[in-house]
Every structure is written in C-alpha cells, then in structure tokens.
Amino acid sequence: MIKQTLRSSWKFHNPNNGKWYDATVPGFIQTDLLSNNIIPDPFFRLNESDVQWIMEKQWTYRTFFSPKKEILDKNNKTLYFYGIDTFSDIFLNDELIISTNNMFHPWEKDVSKYLYSGLNELKVIFHSPIKKVLPLMDKIKHSLPAENDQAGKTSPFSRKAPYHYGWDWGPCLVTSGIWKNVQLHGWDSFNLNKCSILNVGVEKKCATLFLEVEVFSIKKESATISIEESKSNTSLQIPIEIEKGKNVIDKKLLITDPDLWWPSGHGEQPLYTFIITITSATDSFTFLKRIGIRDIFIKREKDKKGRSFEVHVNGKPIFSKGANWIPADSFTTRIKKEHYKQLLSAAKDANMNMLRVWGGGIYEPEIFYDLCDEMGIMVWQDFMFACSMYPADQKFLESVKEEAQYQVDRLKSHPSIVLWCGNNEIASGWLSWGWKEELPASVWNDYKKIFHEVLPNVCKELDPGRLYWPSSPGHSISLPESDQRYGSGDNHYWGVWHGGDGFEAFEEYVGRFMSEYGMQSFPEMKTVRKFAEDRDLDIESKVMVSRQKASLGTGNLIKYIKDYFNPIPGFKATVILSQVMQALAIKTAVEAHRRNMPFCMGTLYWQFNDCWPAISWSSVDYYGNWKALHYYAKRFFNPLIVTIHENKRDLEIHVINDQYKEYNSKLIFQVSKFDGSVIEEKSFNLKIEKASSNCVQTLDKQNLIQGHDKSELFMQAEIRLKKELVCSDIYFFVKPKYLKLNKPKYKYKVERKEGTISIEIEAFSFIYQLHILCENADGIFSDNFFDLLAGEKTIIYFYPKGEDIKTDFNFRLNTVQDITIKQVE
Ligand code: BMA
C-alpha cells in the first residue's frame, strides 16, 4: 500500500471579495484568515466579537494535486479525510464524493474512478455550522438546552466540539476546517481498516494480549501476517487466508514475565512496540502498535456508605490525583507535540497520575495518549457530550455510533485509558437543573438511547474490559432517577464557587471519587499583557469582562479574595491574590479528599489548562505558565503529605501516604511567633504504614495558643526521612487577612552556573507567600508561592521555556505582605 498526504497547495476562497488565499491543512478557517491578515487575532482585546461573522459564511477550500505514479498504478485508490469540521460537501474533479456531518470520525471514499494522472482538483465546501442545523431545530417544538452555547443553542445538533460554541472559561469561536490530514492510499488487493491490541489477562508470569486486525480485500488470496516485538522476543509468521470483503484477523499473544505498566508514582511505564506486517503475492503493508501491559479495573463495591469507585492497577488500589483537561487551544491544530509535552510534563511534575479528558472538548490526538502512556498519566475519557440534551433521530444515532466505534477502536490499545464515560453533567442537568420540568419526557428517552444504549453497546462490543460510566457525576450504570450521591460513584462539588460556600464546605462534601470542584483565578500579569493594553488593566474594563465567561463573574472571585485577604487597591494585587486564594481553596479540598482515603479514592480538580488566555479555574495558563495552584498541587499531590486540620476545638495532624511503601519517619511540629520565637516544639518517630491516612496527633487549640495573640502565631509540621525534609504544612490560627505580619525582610541573589539559573533567598522575617515572577520570559520555577521562616534560606531554580538561556532574565520577587493591608479580626 502506498500513501500520499495531500497537505500542500491548499487555498481558500473568501466570499467577501471573491479572492483565493493560501490555506494550511490541517487547519481552520479562523487560523487561515488570521495568517492572511484578514481578521485580527481573536484572542486580543475584544476581537472575539469581531470575528463572529465567520461562522455564518460558506467557505471553500481547494487544492490541485498530482497523484504519485505508484498510487495510480494500483488497482484501488481510497481518499481519507481524517477529520472534517463539520458540515461539508467534498468534490473530486467536480464529482460530489462525500458529505460530512461529524468532526469526530474520518471520512473515506473509493476514488479509483474519479482520479486522473496529472492535476486533480479537490474541493471542500464548508456550510455554516449554524445555518446548517436551523432546519433541524425548526423540526422540533422545544429547544434543547445547551448551557454554554453562545451561538443560538445550535450545538446539540452538530457532532462538533461543544466548547467551540463558548463555555464558562472560553470564547465562542465556531470553527470550520480540514482539521486532520487528508491522505490518498493506493492498494492492490487489500487495505487496512483498523488494528488494536488489548490486554485480556495479566498474571505475574504471563500476559495474554489480543491482537485484532481488520482488512478489506477485493479478492480471495493467501497471505502471511508477521508480528515482531523485540522487548518480548516475539517473532511470529502466521499464514492466513484472506477472503473477498471484510476480514478480521485475530490472534492471542502470550508475553511471559511481562514488564508491567504503572501509573506515575507507582512504578515504571515499560512499553512494547509491535511491528505488524501483512504480505500477500500482490500487496503488503506494515504498521506499528505500541502498548503497555497492565490490568485495570474500577472496583465498585457495595458497602455501608454506598458503592466505592476505586481504580485498581495490577491488583493495587491507586489513589487517583489530577485535574480536568480541556482542549489546549480554541484552534486545536495549533497545538504541537512540544506543547502537549510541556503541558503533560506539568501534570506529571505536579505529582498527578490522572487527567480527565472532559466531554465538552475533543477526543485528543494520538500524541496526547502516547505521552500519557509514556508518563504514566491515567486518562478518564469522556465521550464528547456536555451540559446539553441531544437529539436522537436515526441519522444522529448512526453518526454517534460511527464516532464512538472509531474512537474506541483508535484509543483502546492505550494503557493509560482507564474508563469510558458517556458525558459531562447531562444526567445532572436533566435531574437537577430544571430541564425535566420544562421539557417533554421524550428528551430523556433520547438521552437513554445515546448514553444507555448506543455508547455502552459500542464499548461492550469493542472494549469489554473497560468500565463504561454513563455520566459524570453519576452513582450507577443504569439510567438514574436521582442526581449524584455522596457515597456512590463520582461527584462534582460546586458549592464552593457556584454556591458561594466557604472553603470549609469542601470538607463536608467528600465522595468516593471527586471528579470536579474548582476555584477561579486570574492568569499572571505577563499573560494578561498578551491580550490587554494598559488601559484595560481594571477588573471592570470591557476587555477584562470579556475574559470572564462565568455567569457569576469576577464579582464572585473578588468576594472569595476578600474573604481571605485585604488587598491594596490596584489590578496587580488582585491578580496575585486571586491565585493565592485559588490555591488555598483547592488545597483545602484535596487535603480533605486525601484524608478520607480509602473512602475517597480519587480527586481531579477543575480545571488543568486553558484554551485561551483568560480568567478561569485553570492551574496552568494558556501559555503554559504555572499559577500558584500548580505549585501547590505539586506539594498537595506529593505521595506523602502531612496536613494540619482544624476540627472544632482541636488541631489534628494527619499523615497520608498513597504509596505501597512503609516509612520510618520523624514528625516534627512547632508553634511559633512570626518574630521567630518558638512557643512549643515536639518531635517523635513515626512509622508510616503503606497506603494509609491517619490522624497521628490531636492537640487542643486553646492550649497551643496559651494566651498569645493568635494573629501572630503559626504552627508548622514536617516529616523527615532520615534527615531529609519530604513534606510540611503551615497552619494559621486566623484567616490570612487577620495575620499580624511585619514588613518582609529578605535578600536574594540570582546566579547562573553551568546552564542553571538559580535564585537564592534568605529570609530575616516571616515571609508569607513569596512569589517570583520572570518578567521577560516564560518558564517554570522549582518552587513558588511558599512561606519562609525568619532565618530560613532556600534556592529556587528557573527553567525557561525553550532552550534560550542567553536572555537576561528579569526576576521580580513579591510577597503577600506587599500587596495586602492588615485587618483586625
Ligand atoms: C463543570 C464543568 C464545566 C464548567 C465548570 C465550571 O461542571 O463540567 O461545564 O466549565 O463546571 O463551571
């Protein structure tokens, strides 16, 4: 089989002036208009609203190409469009060959009879994704809810990424385009349809894999399949008989003494690369499949409190730690390998072992899952349905089925994927957001068809080993009659932020698996400056309001900041304090979840990343910069943590270890004043059991305060292994805004040595939340947003993005003391 990728010489037609312009394939109309300077950058200032007209127009793409001679010489020529967003008619040499309506599966056509030698014209006419569905919407009497859709609630009718229509953290940029490769395949007798390798049984001494290859053949013939894998010394040549039509070739493979794949933090990620070749007298092709061997299942067992939700890997319950992943750009073809690598490394570096690919985005490309496989990041994979009700006519159901079949087959060999989830929050929407009161029962029946029939049937048929979980949050696999329950399944807790609750509420709402909860913040100033000018640096400016898509707005963010801090006037202070506040919120939540292990066995905060530079719940901004929360995440997701927890009159010290290792440690805690004087200090040896969460010390708060002014006190706890500090926590007896902190006194020195950039800091007074900003380069720090005790010294490293180490980096150090006014309780 011979391939030819049709990437070059694409042009698009601008209906506004009738001219043709250069286009990039894969790409989107918006990115092409941008690179031809026809539209301004939609991410800058208020430009989002100026580019809305694009979604109303019809766009034509065209290329002329000459097929390779080797392809023309073949009997069969198949044209593949791996992704078309979304409604288009495709013409080859003026013959209509394909009409598309789903961006989530490829489209193919036997073009043998339409292809010429010499120049061929390939044309794709994109219909407006908005106008195209209006007749469908007119057909039904009610309108379907689409909570975040800013484009006329048209999104439920299109199999297109829901977030393109706007979300409460993202712009409305309804794309059209050839968003994946276009390829021509020339083949003689057979062509590959799909290939997968599944783990079907993993024992210590032997793993059973199931290889499945589907080929389509135009004739009956004898062939050989060869399967080579060097790590396991697999080398097989098996004769096969290929029949005319569809052929499924399956083969059980045994791997003795397999090297098991583990989630990050629990072991290595060995991978096996299979080279599979099918050869006959007339045709041959080769492809690669890389897998990891592991046994994964989700234990859902009834107990007194409900039903558990625990990921087990290779027989061990694993506490899942991470966040919710959204598409990393509004225009996903801009996300390159390096970009994915940088973001996923940030997850791994912050001690995460799971990301949820949330249902309002896209099924991510191969590279995303490859990196997750390599890094040991487990993936909770949603199907792309979120916060809307969907139609379920025959045509729609068929489209959904084809999408699901394609995606499950494409992704199921990845060891990182742990479960399939039908949708995001749709059952909740129906049951609790007033939808069932407003809409006819048939809408719920349509829900049932998609999420309790089509999708589970596809999963059962193609990937029976993985759990299909109909909706997140959810408490059962059957059609629910009530919304989420704390005690069974997974939960989204939004009382903090959407409900206005204080952070303490995180401690009450702990479920078996917390798959969403969150708090907003601003991105750092450098990121703000990429979309805003001086005149926009005000939370109420039009530009800043346009960056806040959440219904409760920045007012809600300010309310939470003011609960904890008393900011000096000015935009910059708000930006920083929003990040510290967000980090404190999520620390409170995650520590509560981890303390409740093994009742709670997973925690994924909302949200990991951004699709544009904005105010949102993310911990890593659009440019990959870590917010305070991400530095905190690295600490609160550490395999071993100590937390000081206020429980009414008491302070409890909890030690949580999610590893299957025991430790002989030393626990040290002290109550001190900001001036450095120690009021009480204790230390003792502590044996930490494997996979445990224990309260190791309970102290009466009043006894500790001993008549001192509690606004001047703090308590610190730390765990040392041998002498090495592995984790610590600081507790304040009052909210940060009531702390009587003195002017911060410290000095620092920046040094460059052998390719490293370090900042040595020495504190002479208690420093609350020291943070370092690099003003002229993107990059991350070894640590940031931390406290320093009087007399403490630390060295922080800066890792610039990219390789540029020649720049003179401009570091600015700041503390919360510098940007807050003391307040009296
Ligand atoms: C969750 C998500 C998203 C949303 C977030 C913040 O429920 O599933 O729909 O962005 O809340 O409101």
Cβ–ligand 1 contact at 356 (below 6 Å): no
Q: Is 17 helix (H, G, I), strand (E, B) or coil?
A: coil
CA 425 – ligand 1 centroid, Å: 9
So what's the pLDDT on residue 263? 98
Query: For residue range 791-809, what is the model confidence (pLDDT) as tens digits?
Result: 999 999 999 987 666 678 8
In angstroms, the CA 720 to CA 328 distance is 38
Q: Which parts of 446-601 are beta strand (E)?
A: 467-472, 490-492, 513-516
Across the range 112-133, mean pLDDT stands at: 97
So what's the pLDDT on residue 706? 86
CA 164 – ligand 1 centroid, Å: 15
CA 489 – ligand 1 centroid, Å: 18
So what's the pLDDT on residue 825? 80
| 128 and 57 Cβ atoms separated by less than 8 Å | yes
Using most ligand atoms within 8 A of CB, pick from 516, 552, 604 the residue to mutate for ligand 1.
516
| pLDDT at residue 666 is higher than 80 | yes
Atom of ligand 1 nearest to the CA of 387: 9
In angstroms, the CA 429 to CA 6 distance is 43
The CA distances from residue 181 to 26, 121, 253, 440, in Å, are 6, 17, 32, 41
Q: Exposed, middle or buried by CB within 10 Å (0-12, 13-18, 19+), for 138?
A: exposed
In angstroms, the CA 739 to CA 712 distance is 6
So what's the pLDDT on residue 808? 83
CA 87 – ligand 1 centroid, Å: 27
In angstroms, the CA 605 to CA 231 distance is 37
So what's the pLDDT on residue 802? 75
Query: For residue range 30-62, what is the model confidence (pLDDT) as tens digits?
Result: 999 999 999 999 999 999 999 999 999 999 999
So what's the pLDDT on residue 806? 66
Among protein residues, the one with the nearest Cα to ligand 1's atom 8 is: 424
CA 623 – ligand 1 centroid, Å: 21
**Residue owning tokens 């009738």:** 18
**What percentage of the chain exceeds 90 in pLDDT?**
95
The CA distances from residue 314 to 145, 165, 199, 296, 317, in Å, are 42, 41, 12, 6, 9
Residue 480's Cβ-side half-sphere holds a number of Cα atoms within 13 Å equal to: 25
Query: For residue range 604-622, what is the model confidence (pLDDT) as tens digits?
Result: 999 999 999 999 999 999 9
Cβ–ligand 1 contact at 168 (below 6 Å): yes
| pLDDT at residue 671 is higher than 80 | yes
What secondary structure letter does DSSP report for 354? E
Q: b/e for 675-702, b at 16 or more Cβ within 10 A?
A: eeeeeeeeeeebebeebebeebbebebe
Using most ligand atoms within 8 A of CB, pick from 606, 610, 615 the residue to mutate for ligand 1.
606
Query: For residue range 324-333, what is the model confidence (pLDDT) as tens digits?
Result: 999 999 999 9
Among protein residues, the one with the nearest Cα to ligand 1's atom 10 is: 168
CA 606 – ligand 1 centroid, Å: 7
Cβ–ligand 1 contact at 387 (below 6 Å): yes
Q: Which alpha helices (H) appear in 439-519, and where do they start and end? A: 441-449, 455-462, 505-508
So what's the pLDDT on residue 805? 63
- At CA 776, angle to CA 774 and CA 777, rounded to 5? 75
**Residue owning tokens 């329950």:** 485
Cβ–ligand 1 contact at 167 (below 6 Å): yes
**691: alpha, beta or left, given left = phi > 0 and alpha = psi -120 to 50?**
left
Written as six digits, the tokens of 262 are: 């583990």
Q: Confidence band (pLDDT; 50, 70, 90) for 816?
A: very high
Query: For residue range 174-205, what is the model confidence (pLDDT) as tens digits?
Result: 999 999 999 999 999 999 999 999 999 898 89
Round to the nearest angstrom and report the end-to-end CA distance of the chain: 76
CA 706 – ligand 1 centroid, Å: 45
So what's the pLDDT on residue 148? 96
Q: Which alpha helices (H) appear in 44-87, and where do they start and end? A: 47-50, 69-72
**Residue owning tokens 């445990």:** 692
Cβ–ligand 1 contact at 517 (below 6 Å): no
Full DSSP string of 623-657: TSPBPHHHHHHHHHTSSEEEEEEEETTEEEEEEEE
Q: Is 575 helix (H, G, I), strand (E, B) or coil?
A: helix
CA 165 – ligand 1 centroid, Å: 14
| pLDDT at residue 719 is higher than 70 | yes
So what's the pLDDT on residue 753? 86
Written as six digits, the tokens of 790 are: 């009087």
Mean pLDDT, the chain, as a whole number?
96
Written as six digits, the tokens of 267 are: 């072991």
Atom of ligand 1 nearest to the CA of 147: 9
29: Cβ contacts below 8 Å, ≥ 6 apart = 12, 54, 59, 126, 175, 176, 177
Reference 739, options 675, 817, 680, 792; nearest CA is 817
CA 615 – ligand 1 centroid, Å: 14
Atom of ligand 1 nearest to the CA of 424: 8
So what's the pLDDT on residue 41? 98
Atom of ligand 1 nearest to the CA of 360: 9
In angstroms, the CA 400 to CA 446 distance is 12
So what's the pLDDT on residue 803? 64
Written as six digits, the tokens of 165 are: 């229509």
Cβ–ligand 1 contact at 606 (below 6 Å): yes
So what's the pLDDT on residue 755? 81
> Identity (one letter) of the amino acid at 95?
E
**What percentage of the chain exceeds 70 in pLDDT?**
100
Among protein residues, the one with the nearest Cα to ligand 1's atom 6 is: 168
395: Cβ contacts below 8 Å, ≥ 6 apart = none
Across the range 772-795, mean pLDDT stands at: 94
CA 552 – ligand 1 centroid, Å: 13
Task: Round the CA-based radius of gyration of the chain to a whole number and report it.
Answer: 28
Written as six digits, the tokens of 141 are: 């009497």
Atom of ligand 1 nearest to the CA of 518: 6
Cβ–ligand 1 contact at 781 (below 6 Å): no
Q: Exposed, middle or buried by CB within 10 Å (0-12, 13-18, 19+), for 707?
A: exposed
Atom of ligand 1 nearest to the CA of 358: 8
| pLDDT at residue 732 is higher than 80 | yes
Reference 475, options 420, 418, 417, 427; nearest CA is 427
Global pTM value = 0.97
Atom of ligand 1 nearest to the CA of 167: 10
Residue 553 sits at φ, ψ, to 5 deg, of 70, 180
